[in-house]
A and B are shown apart, each in its own frame.
Chain A
Amino acid sequence: QSALTQPPSASGSPGQSVTISCTGTSSDVGGYDYVSWYQQHPGKAPKLMIYEVSKRPSGVPDRFSGSKSGNTASLTVSGLQAEDEADYYCNSYAGSNNLGLFGGGTKLTVL
């Protein structure tokens, strides 16, 4: 199975909102509500930001939200802050006998 498709880059000014997409198929993103998003700052380990499409772990600001429509999941960051500049990766369950698929990653730049 192929990796999920994310735009290589996204950007926004402080205070603005930006949305990052993650496109798969009906066998992964579209078929299950098990999409998660991870934030990775340079030289650091990834951090869970969203799971099961739209749930936020404790400690993640409510500026981060997730949604899904058909085969595309989205991560929206509202009220952009400088510290949001990072790489973001989506992940989806892709059926039995499969650990899941990651997206290729999106580099978010805060202008």
Chain B
Amino acid sequence: EVQLVQSGVEVKKSGESLKISCKGSGYSFTSNWIGWVRQMPGNGLEWMGIFYPGDSDARYSPSFQGQVTISADKSITTAYLQWSSLKASDTAMYYCARPIVVRGVVIRLDYWGQGTLVTVSS
């Protein structure tokens, strides 16, 4: 059974760094992309980026390029989303999800983590 299990709630202050995680199991972690989606309070879903653990290929949506870093540790089948300096506007729920990518096209997101709530106070 495919599972994506995310790390717990985070409460941080502006300017602090943060790394949240998403552990994949039940499938080949290195042969599948992993993605991150943001949902700000009361808002819709936004693509942040995707990462291929097999060769460390990372692709970001323009809005998030340079703002976050996506990475993974193949040895523990865990993906990460990292900020070097948080802002109050980073307050949101963050979901990891497994995108099915065919010839460079994201076809669908077939499995999702339970979400990690990040609250940043100013």
Contact = CB atoms under 8 A, between A and B. Distances in A.
A102 B99 CA distance: 14
Given A45-B115, A96-B104, A38 B44 contact: no
A32 B61 CA distance: 19
Given A38-B45, A102-B46, A93 B106 contact: yes
Q: What is the interface residue range for chain A against chain B?
A: 20 to 34
A99 B61 contact: yes
B44 A89 contact: yes
A105 interface: yes
B59 to A, nearest CB: 7
A45 B35 CA distance: 14
Contact of B110 (A48, A91, A102): A48
A3 B114 CA distance: 24
A52 B107 contact: yes
| Consensus secondary structure, chain A interface | loop
Interface string B91-122: 00001010000001111111011110000000
20 contacts: A3-B44, A34-B106, A34-B107, A38-B45, A45-B95, A45-B115, A46-B97, A46-B109, A51-B107, A51-B108, A51-B110, A52-B107, A89-B45, A99-B50, A100-B47, A101-B47, A102-B47, A103-B44, A105-B44, A105-B45
Interface of B: 35, 37, 44-47, 49-50, 59, 61, 95, 97, 104-110, 112-115
A-B complex: 7 closest residue pairs judged by Cβ atoms? A51-B108, A45-B112, A99-B47, A105-B44, A102-B45, A36-B108, A104-B44
